[in-house]
Amino acid sequence: MLRKVDKHSGVPAYLQIVNMIKSEILLGNLQKGAQLPSVRDLQVIFDVNINTVLKALEKLKNEGYIESEQGVGYFVKKDIDVNKEVIEIIRECVSKLKNGRIDYYTAMLIFEEVWKNE
Amino acid sequence: MLRKVDKHSGVPAYLQIVNMIKSEILLGNLQKGAQLPSVRDLQVIFDVNINTVLKALEKLKNEGYIESEQGVGYFVKKDIDVNKEVIEIIRECVSKLKNGRIDYYTAMLIFEEVWKNE
DNA sequence: TATACTGTTATATTATAATATAACAGTATA
DNA sequence: TATACTGTTATATTATAATATAACAGTATA
């Protein structure tokens, strides 16, 4: 799901955009060959300047996720095949966590720390 | 665990520092009253300039996590009590994911997307 | 009291991120 | 072929992040 960038998160806007588009590809919401919204539409969707959109798209191009055709649009190049089981494991975990009294930010901090140290 | 900042992640160094220290407090590795390493030691631990350390500590002070005494040091102010069960849920999830063939970065992207949309 | 630690304040410099704005160039189609 | 879409290139400006460096100020202790 493509949504407004969080301008207070501290994470650079162009990186948030890169992450959102990657997620769409990872989850299969954007498949190989699919066309992205136009750069001027993306500017509105993410609520940033057009140059910020271009910076993000440039990075995705360099990483081989998308390609562009002048005058036509941006298209998904790579289909990334993520194990459905992995998504299921994460869905289950998130569902359990949401039943508890923990916010997203705290959950992410713990997740990161546990991943990197155990 | 306090470790070197990742200078290529794109996330500002001072924020990475804030997150690492918060994690230590959240996981109980730094408890109320505990003294942090000196700013000059932290500079070495995180591999950044002293001003970057100070910026992070200032933020943690503003959020009420730590306090400082000139000439003495920085101390943990808040003890954050995180449900042990929550940590267990995350440990289990991470353990399952590490058995699969998924990297940290991809896992985080999916985690974020699932959390924000389901 | 001298010394070696603590934190604190300040200034200057460089790189990066984000914005605003304009103009150019290719494509599809009424 | 005119029009309205696409992407692309370029320039200038502002804010933020990070660095280097120096000097100041409080605390603990040999």
A21-73 pLDDT, tens digit each: 999 999 999 999 999 999 999 999 999 999 999 999 999 999 999 999 999 99
Q: Does A118 touch chain B (CB under 8 A)?
A: yes
Q: Cα distance from B93 to chain A (closest Cα, Å)?
A: 6
What percentage of chain B reaches a pLDDT higher than 90?
86
The rounded distance, in Å, linking the Cα atoms of B63 and B60 is: 5
Nearest to A83 among B15, B100, B104 (CB): B100
> What's the one-letter identity of residue B117?
N
How many Cβ atoms are within 10 Å of B110's Cβ, its own excluded? 23
Average pLDDT over residues A80-100: 91
List pLDDT tens digits, range B33-68.
Answer: 999 999 999 999 999 999 999 999 999 999 999 999
Q: Which nucleotides of C are covered by protein (CB under 7 A)?
A: 5-12, 17-22, 25-28
DSSP codes, A7-40: TTSSS-HHHHHHHHHHHHHHTTSS-TTPBPPPHH
Whether nucleic acid strand D comes within 7 Å of the CB of B114, the answer is no
Whether nucleic acid strand D comes within 7 Å of the CB of B44, the answer is no
Nearest to A90 among B3, B87, B111 (CB): B111
User: How high is the pLDDT of residue A49?
Assistant: 97
Q: Given phi > 0 = left and psi -120 to 50 = alpha, else beta, which region is A36? A: beta
User: How high is the pLDDT of residue A50?
Assistant: 97
Mean pLDDT of chain B: 94
> Could you tell me the domains of chain A?
13-76 (1.10.10.10), 84-117 (no CATH)
Residue B112: is its pLDDT beyond 90?
Answer: yes
Residues A58 and A50: beta-carbon distance below 8 Å: no
Q: How far apart are the first and last CA of chain B?
A: 31
Tell me, rounded to whole angstroms, the distance of Cα B64 from its chain centroid.
15
